[in-house]
Amino acid sequence: MDRLTQLLSFVAESPQDPFLKYALTMEYLKAEDMEKVEKGFKDLVENFPDYVGTYYHYGKFLEKENNKEEALKIYQLGMHVARKVRNTHALGELQNAYNLATGFDDDDD
C-alpha cells in the first residue's frame, strides 16, 4: 500500500484529525495535484483553524501559484492563530515568510 492510499484510509477512519488531513494535503502537493492541494488547505483553514502548521505551507503554495495577495492574507491569519495558541516558533516562521513575500528583510538595515 502506498503512502497516499494509507493516508486516505486513515482520514476515512478519523475524519476529524487535522494532522491526517494536513499529511494528506502535503502528499497531494508531492504528487503535484494542485486542485486537491488547494481543496485540502481550504478545508484545514475552515474546519481546523487552530492547526497552525497549515498556514506556512498554504502561503508558500499560494505564492508558487502566483497568488501573492492571498498568500499574504494566509500568513497574516496564521500569525493571528499562532499568537492565539502561543506557538512562538510558528509565529516566527510565518512572520519571516510574510516579510520575504512583501520584500521586507531584517538584514536591509
Domain ranges in the chain are 3-108
Compute φ and ψ for 82, nearest 5 degrees. -60, -40
Tell me the average pLDDT across 4-29.
Answer: 96
Looking at every residue in the chain, the average pLDDT score rounds to 94
pTM higher than 0.75 for the full model? yes
pLDDT at residue 106 greater than cutoff 60: no
Q: What's the rounded Cα separation, in Å, for the pair 81 and 90?
A: 9
pLDDT of residue 109: 46
**First-last CA distance in the chain:** 52
DSSP state of 32: T
pLDDT of residue 104: 81
Q: CATH: 1.10.150.20, 1.50.10.10, 1.10.3720.10, 1.25.40.10. Which one for 3-108?
A: 1.25.40.10
pLDDT at residue 72 greater than cutoff 80: yes
| Residues constituting the chain | 109
